[in-house]
């Protein structure tokens, strides 16, 4: 709907109210909110369709006014005193509602379609004509909220020079700074974002939800601190949620179980604004082609505006949705052709060396078959399958399995990470990164990488867990399972530079050839024997206080990551179903992952 009129006079008159603003008071600058890197190509930039406060209401949760008061109770009372007259429109709750003739456009000129994308590889018509069987099916995944313990929260103030400081629980501090600058129409360098050590994000904090408004409110109060915190209900309706997606499959299969043709159409109601927009549905389409082979494949994805809560990133970025639907579809096919579901999958899985013809990413390692073998052994698949053939009674048991593939990072999309290491006088180091720790253990892993690259014990690495966009190296943030792989490469690069500078100083002090030197467990040693030459602490002290050659050992690097790493795995489960009640109990479950090189074994084991 629309706000026809708004009267805030009573709210402003309430004792304890410091400020009341409406959509009439904020900059009329549309801005994007997705936690994606900025692009110099306008065609690849996120959709800028959000205002800090809006007169046009596109979903229940749109914000039209804000109150700043001395305490939360006063602010709530003031909000209740605001009088609003609305022009109400019919809700658009489904894709069908959004696309029907005469539907109200939520964003002018869109027809309520944010975007449609499509790819096709091979001769699909010929492949389907060749198939002995053609199977079609439909699946729908539901909307999910992240429910991290701490709701969306930030506070903002201005420093004496007028620069705006926003302290926010975010996964993307550098991107948040950029979006605040865009929303306020000010240079990005006039904004500083600080991300304290927090826990929990799961993708919901990969969106700039409240920080621009928070910054604006602080500027209207002479720079005084303003806190903005969502309640749990507000977090449900006004932050982000997982995309619900409707999938339509069509698959062509030969009598021996070989898949020859695959087709998928996906449609998602994304809510009232673009946010991460088409990215999740597009990524689902990308991952649709990464697990199984075929002669021809086609995908079409469509994202549609509705008056439901806005969707965004959540754990897996479209992959859980498409893998759930795909694996259900393949299970149905295997049963229909009378083929063991494991044998059916094994016959069609992509092999090591497979090259994605669109992205150019190559599968350089693939342990999916070993994962399946191990899962079968753990759950005793063959033995239990035989036992379950002649079941009777109200409770029955069954076995199931599913496979997945995933990527670390987003390449060929833009991937950059930064790391800074400064060696202290005692030989320990300070490690700064721009990517964030949000409870996933990234700080520990990056500290391990630095320690190994330099050659010092882990407890000599002091990682700074607070990000400050004024001083933290540039990194796009914590998302896409990228930190160990992408940010870790930057840390490794910085650690190797520290080690090289360390050994160069030892070479200058001792005349021992560089090729004969190494650093092991905090000591510079002879590389051929491991015999100690001098401690890292002694070298560090010399770098600080040698009257002729003092130059503290530091490294400040960026890494533009131009590769991507595939991972594969499977899940095996045994369930018991109470047929009269319809309840399902999980009796056993095994997740078997081809995890590559595990940096932190304890973290992986849980």
pLDDT in tens, 99-149: 999 999 999 999 999 999 999 999 999 999 999 999 999 999 999 999 999
Confidence of residue 55 (pLDDT cuts 50, 70, 90): very high
Q: Are 409 and 561 in contact (CB under 8 A)?
A: yes
Q: Are 269 and 141 in contact (CB under 8 A)?
A: no
Residues in CB range of 196: below 8 A, 6 or more apart: 167, 169, 466
How far apart are the C-alpha atoms of 473 and 469, rounded to whole Å?
8
Q: How many residues does the chain have?
A: 606
Residues in CB range of 452: below 8 A, 6 or more apart: 495
Q: How far is CA 131 from the centre of its chain?
A: 38
Report the pLDDT value the prediction gives residue 197, as an integer from 0 to 100.
85
Report the pLDDT value the prediction gives residue 244, as an integer from 0 to 100.
98
Cis before 571? omega within 30: no
Is it the case that residue 309 has pLDDT exceeding 80?
yes
Please report, in angstroms and rounded to a whole number, the separation of the first and last CA atoms in the chain.
Answer: 48
Report the pLDDT value the prediction gives residue 414, as an integer from 0 to 100.
92
The mean per-residue pLDDT over the stretch 412-436 comes to 96
How far apart are the C-alpha atoms of 299 and 544, rounded to whole Å?
60
* The two three-digit tokens of residue 493, written as one number: 């690069």
Residue with tokens 């439901």: 308
Report the pLDDT value the prediction gives residue 535, as an integer from 0 to 100.
98
Report the pLDDT value the prediction gives residue 175, as an integer from 0 to 100.
98
Is it the case that residue 166 has pLDDT exceeding 80?
yes
Report the pLDDT value the prediction gives residue 75, as an integer from 0 to 100.
98
Q: Nearest to residue 91, comparing CAs of 57, 64, 124? A: 57
Confidence of residue 433 (pLDDT cuts 50, 70, 90): very high
Report the pLDDT value the prediction gives residue 606, as an integer from 0 to 100.
80
The mean per-residue pLDDT over the stretch 311-335 comes to 97
Q: If you average pLDDT over every residue of the chain, what do you get? A: 97
Confidence of residue 464 (pLDDT cuts 50, 70, 90): very high
pLDDT in tens, 226-282: 999 999 999 999 999 999 999 999 999 999 999 999 999 999 999 999 999 899 999
Confidence of residue 6 (pLDDT cuts 50, 70, 90): very high
Report the pLDDT value the prediction gives residue 454, as an integer from 0 to 100.
98
How far apart are the C-alpha atoms of 491 and 435, rounded to whole Å?
11
CA–CA distances in Å: residue 481 to residues 478, 495, 565, 577: 8, 22, 10, 35
pLDDT in tens, 331-362: 999 999 999 999 999 999 999 999 999 999 99
Report the pLDDT value the prediction gives residue 236, as an integer from 0 to 100.
96
What is the crossing angle of helices 173-184 and 211-219, to 10°? Answer: 50
Residue with tokens 């319809």: 582
pLDDT in tens, 185-241: 999 999 999 999 877 899 999 999 999 999 999 999 999 999 999 999 999 999 999
* The two three-digit tokens of residue 452, written as one number: 């190994």
Q: Nearest to residue 411, comparing CAs of 485, 348, 465? A: 485
Report the pLDDT value the prediction gives residue 428, as an integer from 0 to 100.
98
Is it the case that residue 496 has pLDDT exceeding 90?
yes
pLDDT in tens, 548-572: 999 999 999 999 999 988 999 999 9
Domains recognised in the chain with CATH numbers: 2-89+146-238 (3.30.365.10), 361-411+565-606 (3.30.365.10), 416-560 (3.30.365.10)
């Amino acid at each position: 709907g629309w706000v026809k009129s708004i009267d805030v006079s009573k709210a402003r008159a309430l004792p304890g109210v410091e400020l009341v603003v409406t959509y009439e008071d904020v900059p009329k600058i549309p801005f994007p909110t997705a936690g994606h890197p900025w692009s110099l190509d306008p065609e690849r930039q996120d959709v800028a369709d959000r205002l800090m406060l809006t007169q046009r209401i596109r979903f229940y949760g749109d914000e039209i006014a804000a109150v700043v008061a001395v305490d939360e109770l006063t602010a709530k009372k003031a909000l209740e005193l605001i009088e609003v007259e609305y022009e109400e429109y019919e809700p658009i709750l489904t894709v069908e509602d959004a696309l029907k003739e005469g539907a109200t456009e939520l964003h002018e000129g869109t027809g309520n379609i944010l975007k449609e994308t499509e790819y096709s590889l091979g001769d699909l018509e010929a492949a389907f004509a060749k198939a002995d069987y053609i199977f079609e099916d439909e699946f729908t995944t539901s909307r999910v909220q992240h429910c991290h313990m701490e709701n969306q929260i930030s506070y903002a103030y201005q420093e004496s020079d007028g620069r705006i400081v926003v302290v926010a629980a975010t996964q993307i501090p550098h991107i948040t700074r950029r979006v605040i600058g865009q929303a306020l129409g000010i240079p990005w360098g006039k904004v500083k974002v600080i991300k304290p050590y927090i826990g929990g994000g799961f993708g919901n904090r990969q969106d700039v939800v409240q920080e621009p408004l928070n910054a604006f409110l602080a500027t209207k109060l002479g720079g005084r601190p303003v806190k903005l915190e969502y309640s749990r209900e507000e977090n449900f309706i006004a932050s982000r949620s997982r995309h619900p997606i409707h999938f339509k499959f069509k698959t062509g299969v030969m009598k021996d179980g070989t898949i020859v043709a695959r087709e998928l159409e996906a449609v998602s109601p994304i809510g009232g604004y673009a946010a991460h927009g088409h990215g999740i549905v597009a990524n689902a389409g990308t991952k649709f082609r990464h697990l199984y082979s075929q002669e021809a494949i086609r995908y079409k994805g469509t994202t549609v505006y509705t008056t439901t809560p806005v969707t965004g990133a959540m754990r897996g970025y479209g992959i859980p949705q498409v893998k759930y639907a795909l694996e259900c579809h393949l299970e149905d096919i295997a049963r229909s052709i009378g083929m063991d579901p494991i044998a059916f999958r094994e016959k069609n899985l992509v092999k090591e060396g497979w090259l994605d013809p669109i992205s150019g990413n190559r599968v350089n390692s693939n342990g999916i078959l070993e994962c399946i073998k191990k899962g079968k052994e753990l759950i005793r698949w063959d033995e239990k399958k035989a036992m379950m053939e002649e079941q009777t009674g109200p409770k029955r048991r069954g076995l199931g399995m599913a496979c997945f593939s995933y990527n670390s990072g987003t390449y060929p999309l833009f991937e950059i990470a930064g790391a800074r290491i400064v060696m202290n006088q005692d030989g320990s180091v300070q490690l700064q990164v721009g990517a964030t720790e949000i409870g996933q253990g990234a700080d520990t892993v990056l500290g391990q990488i630095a320690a190994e690259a330099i050659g010092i014990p882990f407890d000599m690495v002091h990682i700074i867990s607070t990000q400050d966009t004024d001083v933290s190296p540039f990194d796009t943030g914590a998302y896409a399972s990228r930190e160990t792989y992408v940010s870790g490469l930057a840390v490794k690069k910085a650690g190797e530079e520290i080690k090289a500078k360390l050994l160069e100083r030892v070479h200058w002090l001792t005349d021992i050839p560089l090729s004969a030197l190494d650093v092991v467990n905090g000591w510079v040693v002879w590389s051929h024997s491991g015999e100690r030459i001098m401690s890292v602490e002694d070298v560090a002290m010399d770098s600080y206080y040698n009257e002729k050659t003092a130059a503290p050992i530091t490294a400040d690097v960026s890494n533009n990551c131009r590769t991507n790493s595939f991972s594969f795995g499977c899940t095996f489960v045994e369930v018991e179903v109470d047929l009269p009640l319809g309840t399902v109990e999980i009796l056993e479950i095994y997740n078997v992952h081809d995890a590559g090189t595990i940096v932190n074994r304890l973290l992986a084991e849980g």
